[in-house]
C-alpha cells in the first residue's frame, strides 16, 4: 500500500505499472475484440477471456487432423488419446506437481471436481467435514454427502469487516471435530476452503493445508478463483484435492475442469457408481465390476477430447505471458480501484461506496465486491446498478455470487435469522430478503484478470461517480424480480 493517501488519476502512474506493459500490448493484439464495441469487461471471476491465438489453435488443430473417441482402438482414437495425455502432463508441469504424487482427472468444471470428492469420500461419525463460511456453493454442497453418512459438519465463521478467519478458530474447529475420532485409527476427515474467496477476494493462507494435515485431515483446496492470477506450486503446498475450471484461467475451453488429486488420497475414495470408461470389467449376471486403477476410474463416459487439448495450449499461453506478470497487473489495478472508491463521498459527507472485505491491496486478489449508497445512506438496489451498468457498456456481476456464507457475514445476518423454520412460507427470493429485513439482494462485484488494463478501472470509477454521486433515491422504473441467490 502506498503511503500517499491521494491515489493518482490513472493506474498508469503507479510505480511498477509500466513493467506490466506487455499486458497492454496483448490487449491491443490478441485481445482487441474486447474493445471493438466499447465494452468494459469486469467479470474475470465469472470467466476469463480467450485470446485470438487460442481460437486459431483450436481451429487449426481440428482442420489438420482427425480425432475420435479415445476408448476405441484405431489411429484416430490413439491421436485423440495422445493429446489428452499430453494435456495431463501440461497440467502437472504448470502447477509444478510431481506426477508420482499427483493425478489429473478431467471434469466438466470445478463443481464437477468437488462432486467427485464429495460423493466418494469416506465420511462417517469418525470422519468429519470442516468448512469455511466463504466457500462456493459447489463446495458447500459436499456437506450433503457428509450428513448422509452421519458425519459431523462444522463451519468456521468469518471475523470482522475484512471477512477473514482467525487461525485460532480454525485450529479449534479442526480439533473439536478430531476429538470424535479418538480410538478410531485409519479414519480421517476433510477440510475444504477456497484459496481465494470469489465474494470478497480475500486470500486465505495456503499454510492451512499443512496445519490441517498435522491434525489428520485431508484438504480440498478450491483454487478456481485463485489460480487465474496467482501461482499455485504443488511442489510446495500439497493439498489432497484441488478443484479448477479452465475457462476461469484463460477463457477457453468452457465445459472442461479438473480435479488434481494426490494419488494416496485418490486411492481412499470409493465411488458410489460406475460408468462407461471407468471400469476394467463388469458382469450383468455376476453382478460385479472392477474399476480402472488410474485417473480414468473417475472420468465418466467419453472425455471432451476435442477441447481438452485446448487446455494445454491455454496453459502454455498463460505461462508464456507469466502468472507473476498477470498477478502484478491485477494487484495494481485492484489497489488503485479500492483507493479511488474510498475517495468518493456525497456532499452530505457520507461514503458513496461500501466495500465488503479488505479495503487495501494486502492479502487479497483482484475481486472487489461493494454496494453503493444514496446520500441518505440507503443502499442502491443492485438490480438498478446491473441495468445501468449494462447500458453504459460495463459487464460486471451482481447478486451474492453462489457464496451465501460470505454474504451472510458481509450483511451481518445472524444464525437465528437464517433458521429454516423462520422462513417457512417464503417462496421467492424477494420474499426471502423481506423476511430477513435486507434492503437489497446482494452486491456488485467487479474483477480483474489476464487482459485487464487501466482504462477498464478508470471507466468503472467514472461510471460510479457520474451515475450515483449525490443521486438521491427516487421512483425508479420497475426492476425485474430476483430469480436466484
Q: What's the sign of the alpha-carbon dihedral 445, 451, 457, 463?
A: negative
How far apart CA 270 and CA 120 sit, in angstroms, is 5
Q: Decide: 241 and 265 in contact? Cβ < 8 Å.
A: yes
Contact residues for 401 (Cβ-Cβ < 8 A; gap 6+)? 45, 198, 199, 369, 407, 442, 445
Measure the CA dihedral 170/172/174/180, to 10°. Answer: -160
Q: Could you tell me whether strands 257-262 and 102-107 are parallel, antiparallel, or unpaired per DSSP bridges? A: antiparallel
How far apart CA 57 and CA 309 sit, in angstroms, is 10
Cell numbers of 265, please? 488420497
Long-range Cβ pairs for the range 317-324 (8 Å, 24+): 317/51, 317/53, 317/54, 317/250, 318/94, 318/249, 318/250, 318/450, 319/94, 321/22, 321/23, 321/26, 321/450, 323/229, 323/230, 323/231, 324/231
How far apart CA 65 and CA 396 sit, in angstroms, is 39
φ/ψ bin of 349: left (φ > 0), alpha (ψ from -120 to 50), beta (otherwise): left
3-class SS at 283? strand
Q: Decide: 277 and 296 in contact? Cβ < 8 Å.
A: yes
Cell numbers of 218, please? 485431508
Task: Choose, from 243, 400, 402, 485, the residue flagged as catalytic.
Answer: 402
HSE of 230, CA atoms in CB hemisphere, 13 A: 21
In angstroms, what CA-CA distances link 440 with 121, 435, 437?
38, 12, 9
DSSP bridge partners of 283: 288
402 catalytic, yes or no? yes
Question: Mapped to the 3 state alphabet, what secondary structure does 212-231 carry?
Answer: HHHCCCEEEEECCCCCCCCC
Active site residues: 402
Amino acid at each position: 500500500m502506498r503511503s500517499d493517501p491521494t491515489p493518482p488519476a490513472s493506474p498508469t502512474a503507479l510505480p511498477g505499472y509500466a513493467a506490466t506493459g506487455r499486458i497492454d500490448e496483448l490487449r491491443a493484439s490478441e485481445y482487441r475484440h474486447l474493445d471493438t464495441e466499447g465494452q468494459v469487461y469486469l467479470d474475470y471471476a465469472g470467466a476469463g477471456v480467450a485470446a485470438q491465438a487460442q481460437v486459431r489453435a483450436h481451429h487449426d488443430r481440428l482442420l489438420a487432423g482427425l480425432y475420435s473417441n479415445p476408448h476405441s482402438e484405431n489411429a484416430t482414437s490413439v491421436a485423440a488419446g495422445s493429446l489428452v495425455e499430453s494435456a495431463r502432463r501440461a497440467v502437472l508441469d504448470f502447477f509444478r506437481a510431481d506426477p508420482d504424487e499427483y493425478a489429473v482427472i478431467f471434469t466438466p468444471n470445478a463443481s464437477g471436481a468437488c462432486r467427485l470428492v464429495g460423493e466418494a469420500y469416506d465420511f462417517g461419525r469418525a470422519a468429519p467435514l470442516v468448512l469455511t463460511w466463504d466457500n462456493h456453493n459447489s463446495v458447500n454442497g459436499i456437506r450433503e454427502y457428509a450428513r448422509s453418512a452421519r458425519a459431523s459438519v462444522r463451519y468456521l465463521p468469518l471475523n470482522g469487516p475484512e471477512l477473514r478467519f482467525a487461525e485460532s478458530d480454525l485450529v479449534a474447529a479442526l480439533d473439536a471435530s478430531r476429538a470424535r475420532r479418538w480410538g478410531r485409527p485409519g479414519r480421517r476427515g476433510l477440510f475444504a476452503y477456497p484459496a481465494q474467496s470469489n465474494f470478497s477476494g480475500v486470500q486465505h493462507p495456503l499454510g492451512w493445508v499443512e496445519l490441517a494435515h498435522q491434525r489428520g485431515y485431508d484438504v480440498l483446496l478450491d483454487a478456481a478463483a485463485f489460480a487465474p492470477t496467482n501461482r499455485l506450486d504443488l511442489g510446495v503446498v500439497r493439498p489432497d484435492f484441488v478443484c479448477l475450471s479452465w475457462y476461469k484461467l484463460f477463457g477457453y475451453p468452457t465445459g472442461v475442469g479438473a480435479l488434481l488429486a494426490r494419488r494416496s488420497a485418490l486411492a481412499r475414495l470409493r465411488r458410489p457408481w460406475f460408468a462407461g470408461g471407468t471400469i476394467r470389467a463388469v458382469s450383468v449376471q455376476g453382478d460385479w465390476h472392477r474399476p480402472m486403477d488410474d485417473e480414468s476410474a473417475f472420468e465418466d463416459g467419453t472425455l471432451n477430447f476435442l477441447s481438452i487439448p485446448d487446455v494445454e495450449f491455454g496453459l502454455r499461453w498463460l505461462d508464456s505471458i507469466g502468472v507473476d506478470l498477470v498477478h502484478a497487473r491485477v494487484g495494481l489495478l485492484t489497489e488503485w480501484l479500492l483507493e479511488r472508491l474510498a475517495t468518493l463521498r456525497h456532499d452530505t459527507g457520507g461514503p458513496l461506496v461500501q466495500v465488503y472485505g479488505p479495503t487495501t491491496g494486502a492479502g487479497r486478489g483482484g475481486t472487489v465486491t461493494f454496494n453503493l449508497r444514496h446520500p441518505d445512506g440507503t443502499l442502491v438496489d443492485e438490480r438498478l446498478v446491473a441495468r445501468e451498468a449494462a447500458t453504459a457498456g460495463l459487464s460486471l456481476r451482481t447478486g451474492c455470487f453462489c457464496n451465501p456464507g460470505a454474504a451472510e457475514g458481509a450483511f451481518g445476518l445472524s444464525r437465528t435469522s437464517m433458521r429454516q423454520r423462520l422462513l417457512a412460507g417464503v417462496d421467492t427470493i424477494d420474499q426471502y430478503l423481506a423476511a430477513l429485513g435486507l434492503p437489497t439482494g446482494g452486491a456488485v462485484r467487479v474483477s480483474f484478470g489476464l487482459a485487464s488494463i487501466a482504462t477498464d478501472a478508470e471507466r468503472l470509477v467514472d461510471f460510479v461517480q457520474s451515475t450515483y454521486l449525490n443521486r438521491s433515491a427516487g421512483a425508479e422504473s420497475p426492476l425485474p424480480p430476483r430469480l436466484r441467490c
